Amino acid sequence: MNVEDKASLYDALTAARKIERFVRNVEWAEFQANEEKASAVYGQLVILGEACTRLSPDVRSQYIDVPWRQIIGMRNRIIHGYDEVNWEIVWQVATEHVPRLIGQVARILDASNPPAGNQ
């Protein structure tokens, strides 16, 4: 895995962890009413999608269990359709899909950084 792919994966992981933190112990009604929380999650979803866009086709094809296409598609949809965002879908992604993605991306990064002595 090249340096650019690792950097993009770290960016994706950082954005996903921020999303997870922003919605931790928050209920849907609070999220819906809190413009700052919603905006923060929106912004990190954009970064997450952009980081995945920057991954090489090799990385995306090597890890087919990660929904790269859907992540990138969501980024495109919320960027280009910023005035028609479905906040229920944003909430569902933030609370259900992002935690799973964190584990997937962390495992990819761990696999790309073998322990010293095993190289």
Q: What is the pLDDT of residue 117?
A: 55
Mean predicted confidence (pLDDT) in 85-101: 96
Using one digit for the tens of pLDDT, what is the confidence trace for 21-32?
Answer: 999 999 999 999
Q: Quick check: 10 pLDDT over 70?
A: yes
Q: Yes or no: say if 90 and 38 are a contact pair by the CB < 8 Å rule.
A: yes
Q: What 8-state DSSP symbol labels residue 66?
A: S
Which residue's entry shows tokens 């923060």? 40
* Active-site residue flag, 97: no
Give the side-chain half-sphere CA count within 13 A for 2: 9
What would the two tokens of residue 32 be? 């819906």
| pTM as predicted | 0.90
The count of other CB atoms within 10 Å of the CB of residue 18 is: 18
* Active-site residue flag, 80: yes
Q: Which of 80, 97, 100, 107 is catalytic?
A: 80
Closest CA to 42 of 19, 63, 61: 19
Q: Which of 24, 60, 75, 77 is catalytic?
A: 75
Q: Quick check: 115 pLDDT over 70?
A: no
Q: Quick check: 119 pLDDT over 50?
A: no
What would the two tokens of residue 77 be? 């949809």
Residue 1 pLDDT class (50, 70, 90 cuts): confident
